[in-house]
Amino acid sequence: MSLFLPDEAATNAFATRLHAALPADIAGWTVLLEGELGAGKSTLARALIRAFGHSGAVPSPTYTLVEPYKLDCGSIYHIDLYRVAAEEELRYLGWNELEDGLRLVEWPDRAPDLAARADLQITLGYAQAGRSLDLVGLSERGSVLASKLTS
């Protein structure tokens, strides 16, 4: 599935639709956010975290690697692996402790093990003044969700 998002409001609207399509129990879901710097990965993550009911700031996890959100619906982990150079650096991150929530992962290619178990891949790209969005289901439940969002 491919979409054109003409402006940031369209990105936010897509996040609202994605939130509505995700199940009530988001534990163990992993969404990969791909695309170059400035493509809109953090914008989409922020809008999705807000759609789940978070009203405060959504700081970039670039330096902390993980920003956790404890919400009524469960936990969300916003992960940004841009600064990770080698996979060994991730050994102490405690991935297993992030199993109870929804993981939104920017620069997932830095963590192939995590990417291999993901449900959805969202790729953002520059398209004129806006952005393109490609959505691919990676797991069975991810594919079901992707087709729900297409219809």
The yes or no reply on residue 10 touching ligand ADP (CB under 6 A) is: yes
| Rounded least distance, CB 62 to ligand ADP, Å | 9
Q: Binding residue for Mg ion (CB under 5 A) from 30, 41, 54, 121?
A: 41
- Strand partners of residue 133: 3, 124
The yes or no reply on residue 54 touching ligand ADP (CB under 6 A) is: no
Instruction: Compute the distance between CA of residue 95 and CA of residue 84 in angstroms, rounded to an integer.
Output: 15
The yes or no reply on residue 11 touching Mg ion (CB under 5 A) is: no
Quote the distance between the C-alpha of residue 27 and its chain's center: 14
Q: Which is nearer to Mg ion, 45 or 73 (CB)?
A: 45
Backbone angles phi, psi at 87, to 5 degrees: -60, -30
| Rounded least distance, CB 133 to Mg ion, Å | 15
Q: Which of the listed partners (Mg ion, ligand ADP, none) does 121 bind, with a CB threshold of 5 to 8 Å by partner kind?
A: none
The yes or no reply on residue 42 touching Mg ion (CB under 5 A) is: yes
Q: ∠ CA 27-89-43 to the nearest 5 degrees? A: 50
Q: Are 137 and 146 in contact (CB under 8 A)?
A: yes
Binding site for Mg ion (CB under 5 A): 41-42, 106
